Amino acid sequence: MKLLSPVKIGKHLLKNGMAMAPMTRSRASFSGVVGESTVTYYTQRSSAGLIISEAINISQQATGSPMTPGMYTQEQIDAWKKVTKAVHDEGGVIYAQLWHTGRVGHSLVKNGEQPVAPSAIAIQGQQHFTMEGMKDYETPRELSTEEVKEIVQEYKQAALNAMEVGFDGVELHAAFGYLPNQFLADSANQRTDEYGGSDENRNRFVVEIMHEIVEAIGEDKAAIRLSPTSTYNSITHIDPIAQFTKLIGELNHMPLAYIHLMKVPFPADKFPQYPDDVLETLGRLCVHPVMANCGFTRETGEAELIKGLVKMISFGTLFLANPDLPKRFELDAELNEADRATMYSGQDKGYIDYPFLNN
């Protein structure tokens, strides 16, 4: 079974082709510090070929949702060290996903500060969770050119922090409508400086971040997650195939570990310019190993690997509910069902109490 066969990603020969996808779990403290339950959570899932951590805020400004972790204070860094050590002690490999939420936040979560974005354009048709309940999105403050360059350096520092923590690599979260994705999307980016306008300019923020990360931590340790067809968080592209073709061309010149493509379904009648199959259209352009994500099962993941284009499949909810997912796939065993009511509850229930086989 290809899902269970070793695969080389970056400098690591992974024990299988199954990655644990990054998933926000909202179990950190209000100061962004992870606890012992988080150590247990990742240790339980160390049979994954690769664990990609939940998204980790690179700065205070980056924080968009309550009880999400950071890696910019010494207390946060020291807490993550316990996670990486525990995973390594179990023979696991773990990357840190680096996160800046941009406009996907609320001042109630940011100590009264206004969310920031490429342009002063609010998310429409959605609400954001705060400790005071669901709230409409606010109009973000447009970042100055100087501030954009400062955030690029904050990503670099976060990558260095991740190496200090003991992570094996980092993944830039440039998907699902967060700050890098906001720069990529013309629906969120109406800038007139070097970071807006043309495809090359809207790609620039992401390209600069990846250059800085690679320079900071070395070859084959940096990765990126992209969602070219996701419309979540009011993200749309006029011509995603042209833009992401150029972006992947830039990424191909960098010594990356992998490119993580989200195969997000979309209403084709509303977006006829979108690629029918992200993997076939854009994945084929990648010189780096491609990791595929979004709704894969044991059967569909195996079929995707057999095609030969994709090297790994990342599983989110399945790994959340099944800490021993590779063993269950090996035996074709029954799977636990995820309890969606406890995904973001902040408690151990629905976090570290999912049963293993024979338990």
Catalytically annotated residues? 178
Q: What is the spatial distance between Cα 132 and Cα 116, in angstroms, rounded to a whole number?
A: 21
* Closest C-alpha to 313, from 283, 287, 291, 281: 291
H/E stretch holding 41? helix 36-44
* Alpha helix segments (H runs only) across 291-333: 298-307, 317-321, 325-331
Alpha carbon distance 296, 301 (integer Å): 5
Start-to-end CA distance of the chain, whole Å, equals 25
Please name the residue ranges forming H helices in 145-293. Answer: 145-165, 179-184, 199-217, 240-251, 278-281
Question: Rounded to whole angstroms, how far apart are CA atoms 68 and 149?
Answer: 24
Which amino acid, one-letter code, is at 197?
G
Report CA-CA distances (Å) from 24 to 55, 57, 142, 297, 342. 6, 11, 26, 20, 12
Smallest CA-to-CA distance from 2 within 301, 335, 284, 261 is with 301
Rounded CA separation 170/237 (Å): 26
Q: How far apart are CA 173 and CA 206, in angstroms?
A: 10
CB 291 within 8 A of CB 7: no
Q: Which two tokens stand for residue 165?
A: 């923590």
